[in-house]
């Protein structure tokens, strides 16, 4: 039997990339898609909602101090003890929490991916050294590390952000490193070396793109983790400071007024819970769609 | 001057030492291999699993750094070639698992044109794509394949894409590492014939690594038999297949199944007795002594050197009968 080169073999119907297949599979997941819609609505509400009101979350309205939630204009969900509108504060707090959540996950994920891919591909002594560093950082108690870092960086939003990223990039680094290690032994990486590619190009063009499935899934779990740790730190009083609102410090002040007025806790708490649930459903859907085991 | 020449090539892998802090040991895989290959010729390398065939193939291209000996590329010591990376266009490799050899996230056009970015940096993206399509057509795949992804291919098609990637930089040598072992028998023939056709057209030299003696017989000009990292026999194809000299080669030959079922039925099985020695603790004598039907005390104590036993034929055995 010989290959007939004069009439080349016809190709299968259409070229569909793995990514497109995965997106399609994700779109078929109803719960995940509903979560995407809800999350989008919340994000839009947080970023554009406050413009619908004639005041900002920091303006005190002395005619309505501790107004109850009567769904009447202009204070739909009432005000806090300083006469600030609760709904607007929650929406503005959402801006801070969501921004920190997504940017934090992006930054921590990005650093972790590059670090892990380099360590996994390089192997040997470099890998050992890089991973020992990660293990040492893992060893520090999380809260103490964050407090130290935010003290070191002089407090403020940037310090909080840096502290969160600094502690959260470790896990993606470990996950990607394991993936990169197995990819580095694949034959297409060897073919790339035989094709004269440099190590850095192999990492960027072959290793990182092939880690994407894992990274997307883990990254979607990272967002709620960042939001939670921001809320947690703000709750402890070392995160976002009053008068600026974030879900964490709103919940914190809501807790102190819990006995007399539950709604101060309920509104930001519900928002946070909804966002976290949505993100987890989305992460779940992504994992089902992107699981490298059934490609 | 040969295209490719290896002199006393040895390869070992570093493994952790016995204790926690002891220095890493070198686990030798390939010992003292010498060979030379001319343009347009095919060297078949055969041997059982784990005998170091694939390691040898990678060391010939310096994808693994050898631990001893030299490889000469057109008379030049490969270790001393500055910027060897850019010269790799001339020496390519194709792999056993054809699907794993293709990046699942890239289109075939990108996979095939990828090496050109290194070898011919001036080439525009459009020209690189045109070259990739041309290479795909040379291996019998139409231009429609250019935008397909590896998961849409069959094993045989994927292997042809691997060949297209190897030939796109117009190489002089291709190392074929078990290129057909993962394929169906009917597809095997297609790929082998494609390789032979390309060899004829481009004057390629091939190193064909396989455990399948029948396939090696079809494609090779010379045959090299390896056992536990050492060459035990080296001969031109026709005389080797007419009568293998080393007992290990004879055992390999006897293990080839007979295509005719009537004759296969009457064949007396000659399965090898004895244990394959551990790579970690190689025997002092002949590597095949523990399984050789002819082994004597001499074989277990002194290692036979690879020597010329007949014109053009090398064998490493104390008791070669020519």
Instruction: Give the CATH number, domain containing residue A29.
Output: 1.10.3720.10
Residue that wins the pLDDT comparison between A243 and A204: A204
Question: Has residue A216 been placed in a domain?
Answer: yes
| Interface check A158 vs B, CB under 8 A | no
Written in H, E and C, the secondary structure of B284-301 is CCCCCCCCCCCCCHHHHH
CB B198 within 8 A of CB B167: yes
Considering only alpha carbons, which residue of chain A is nearest residue B113?
A195
Whether A121 maps to a domain, the answer reads yes
Q: Is A61 among the domain residues?
A: no
Residues 6 or more apart whose Cβ sits within 8 Å of residue B303: B284, B285, B286, B287, B316
Chain segment B232-265, per-residue pLDDT in tens = 999 999 999 998 999 899 888 888 777 777 777 7
Residue A9 binned pLDDT confidence (cut-offs 50, 70, 90): low
Domain count, chain A: 1
Which residue has tokens 């010269």?
B87
Q: Which residues have CB under 8 Å from B102's CB, separation 6+?
A: A188, B108, B111, B150, B153, B158, B161, B162
Residue A260, chain B, CB below 8 Å: the answer is no
Question: Residue A196's closest CA among B160, B6, B91?
Answer: B91
Q: How confident is the model at residue A295 (pLDDT cuts 50, 70, 90)?
A: very low
**A56 found inside a domain:** no
Comparing A235-244, B214-223, B239-248, the range with the smallest average pLDDT is: A235-244
What are the φ/ψ torsions at residue B164 (nearest 5 degrees)?
A: -60, -40
Q: What is the pLDDT of residues A117-147, one digit of tens each?
A: 999 888 888 888 899 999 988 888 877 877 7
**Strands across the sheet containing B25-37:** B25-37, B4-15, B68-73, B76-77
Chain A positions touching B167 (Cβ under 8 A) are: none
- Cβ <8 Å between A196 and B190: no
**Do A194 and B63 lie within an 8 Å CB cutoff?**
yes
pLDDT-based confidence at residue B43 (cuts at 50, 70, 90): very high
Chain B residue numbers touching A197 (CB-CB < 8 A): 114, 118
Query: A63 in a domain, yes or no?
Result: no
> Does residue A117 lie in a domain region?
yes
Interface contact A9-B95, CB threshold 8 A: no
Please judge whether B140 and A188 are an interchain contact, meaning their C-beta atoms are less than 8 angstroms apart. Answer: no
Domain span including residue A269: 19-50+94-294
Q: Is the N-terminal amide bond of A263 cis, ω within 30° of 0?
A: no
Give me the phi and psi of A289, to 5 degrees please. -75, -35
Which pLDDT score is estimated for A1? Answer: 42
């Amino acid at each position: 039997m010989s290959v007939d080169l004069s009439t080349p073999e016809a190709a299968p119907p259409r070229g569909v990339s793995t990514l497109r297949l995965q997106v399609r599979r994700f779109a078929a997941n109803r719960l995940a898609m509903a979560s995407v819609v809800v999350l989008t609505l919340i994000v839009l509400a947080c970023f554009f909602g406050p413009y619908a009101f004639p005041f900002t979350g920091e303006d005190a309205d002395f005619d309505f101090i501790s107004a109850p939630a009567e769904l009447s204009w202009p204070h739909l969900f009432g005000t806090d003890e300083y006469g600030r509108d609760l709904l607007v504060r929650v929406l503005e707090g959402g801006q801070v929490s969501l921004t920190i959540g997504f940017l934090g996950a992006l930054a921590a994920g990005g650093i972790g991916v590059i670090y892990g891919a380099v360590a996994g591909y390089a192997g040997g002594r470099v890998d050992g050294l890089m991973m020992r560093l990660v293990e040492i950082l893992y060893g520090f108690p999380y809260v103490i590390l964050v407090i130290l870092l935010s003290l070191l960086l002089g407090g403020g939003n940037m310090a909080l952000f840096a502290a969160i990223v600094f502690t959260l990039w470790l896990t993606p680094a470990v996950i990607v490193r394991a993936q990169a290690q197995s990819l580095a032994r694949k034959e297409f990486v060897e073919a790339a070396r035989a094709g004269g590619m440099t190590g850095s190009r192999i990492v960027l063009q072959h290793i990182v793109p092939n880690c994407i499935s894992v990274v997307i899934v883990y990254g979607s779990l990272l967002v709620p983790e960042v939001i939670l740790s921001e809320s947690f730190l703000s709750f402890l009083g070392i995160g976002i400071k009053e008068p600026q609102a974030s879900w964490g410090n709103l919940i914190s002040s809501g807790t102190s007024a819990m006995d007399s007025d539950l709604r101060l806790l309920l509104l930001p708490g519900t928002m946070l819970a909804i966002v976290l649930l949505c993100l987890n459903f989305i992460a779940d859907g992504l994992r089902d769609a992107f699981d490298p085991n059934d490609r | 001057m040969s295209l490719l020449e290896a002199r006393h090539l040895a390869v070992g892998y570093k493994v952790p030492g016995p204790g926690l802090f002891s220095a890493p040991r070198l686990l030798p895989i390939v010992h003292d291999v010498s060979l030379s290959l001319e343009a347009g010729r095919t060297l078949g390398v055969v041997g059982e699993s784990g005998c170091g065939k694939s390691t040898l193939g990678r060391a010939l291209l310096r994808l693994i750094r050898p631990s001893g000996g030299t490889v000469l590329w057109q008379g030049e010591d490969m270790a001393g070639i500055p910027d060897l990376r850019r010269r790799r266009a001339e020496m390519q490799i194709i792999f056993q698992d054809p699907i794993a050899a293709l990046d699942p996230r890239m289109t075939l056009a990108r996979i095939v044109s990828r090496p050109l970015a290194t070898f011919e940096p001036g080439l525009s993206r459009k020209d690189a794509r045109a070259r990739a399509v041309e290479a795909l057509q040379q291996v019998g795949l139409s231009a429609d394949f250019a935008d397909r992804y590896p998961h849409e291919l069959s094993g045989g098609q994927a292997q042809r894409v691997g060949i297209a990637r190897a030939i796109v930089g117009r190489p002089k040598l291709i190392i074929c590492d078990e290129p057909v072992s993962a394929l169906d028998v009917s597809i095997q023939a297609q790929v082998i014939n494609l390789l032979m056709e390309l060899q004829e057209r481009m004057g390629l030299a091939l190193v064909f690594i396989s455990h399948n003696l029948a396939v090696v017989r079809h494609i090779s000009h010379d045959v090299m038999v390896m056992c536990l990292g050492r060459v035990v026999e080296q001969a031109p194809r026709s005389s080797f297949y007419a009568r293998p000299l080393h007992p290990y080669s004879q055992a390999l030959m006897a293990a080839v199944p007979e295509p005719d079922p009537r004759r296969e039925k009457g064949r007396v099985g000659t399965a090898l007795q004895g244990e394959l020695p551990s790579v970690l603790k190689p025997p002092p004598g002949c590597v095949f002594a523990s399984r050789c039907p002819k082994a004597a005390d001499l074989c277990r104590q002194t290692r036979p050197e690879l020597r010329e036993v007949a014109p053009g034929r090398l064998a490493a055995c104390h008791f070669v009968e020519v």
